[in-house]
């Protein structure tokens, strides 16, 4: 009986370890680089490159507790090095520009279960907007 308890405990322990490795692998599968945010009057443009096993990345735009742009997916097309260029172009209004809190673009991927991975919070500096 003791032997079965030890075997069962070992199986549960190993199962828990494999889940952590899968999450770590999912995070490693998504990378961002060459990110640049440009603000021009009422337009915010985020450009960059992503490398992921998936065909999509996702983003939202938030300001404080308010979601300004709901979750939006971006379909990716890889170049020969496995990186995909992307552009996110968003309009912002005066209320957003005049608020005290800075808008934040949240860029991320998703696992097969729909769980967010590798969330990147990118602040949008509206004070640098070109007029």
Q: Which fold has domain 30-128?
A: Immunoglobulin-like (2.60.40)
**Segment of 23-27, 57-61, 78-82 carrying the highest mean pLDDT:** 57-61
Angle at CA of residue 55, ends 37 and 36, nearest 5°: 10
H runs (alpha helix) in the chain: 2-28, 94-98
Model confidence at 57: pLDDT above 80: yes
Model confidence at 27: pLDDT above 70: no
For residues 74 and 131, give the distance between their C-alpha atoms in angstroms, rounded to a whole number: 28
**What would the mean pLDDT of 88-99 be, rounded to a whole number?**
92
For residues 108 and 59, give the distance between their C-alpha atoms in angstroms, rounded to a whole number: 6
Three-state SS at 78: coil
Model confidence at 11: pLDDT above 80: no
């Amino acid at each position: 009986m003791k032997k079965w308890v030890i075997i069962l405990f070992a199986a549960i322990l190993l199962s828990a370890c494999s889940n952590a490795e899968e999450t770590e692998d999912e995070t490693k599968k998504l990378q961002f680089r060459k990110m640049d945010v440009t603000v021009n009057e009422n337009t915010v443009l985020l450009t960059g490159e992503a490398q992921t096993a998936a065909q999509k990345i996702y983003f939202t735009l938030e300001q404080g507790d308010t979601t300004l742009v709901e979750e939006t997916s971006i379909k990716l097309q890889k170049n020969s090095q496995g990186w995909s260029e992307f552009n996110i172009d968003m309009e912002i209004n005066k209320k957003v520009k005049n608020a005290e809190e800075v808008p934040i673009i949240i860029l991320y991927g998703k696992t097969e279960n729909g769980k967010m991975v590798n969330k990147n919070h990118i602040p949008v500096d509206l004070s640098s907007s070109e007029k």
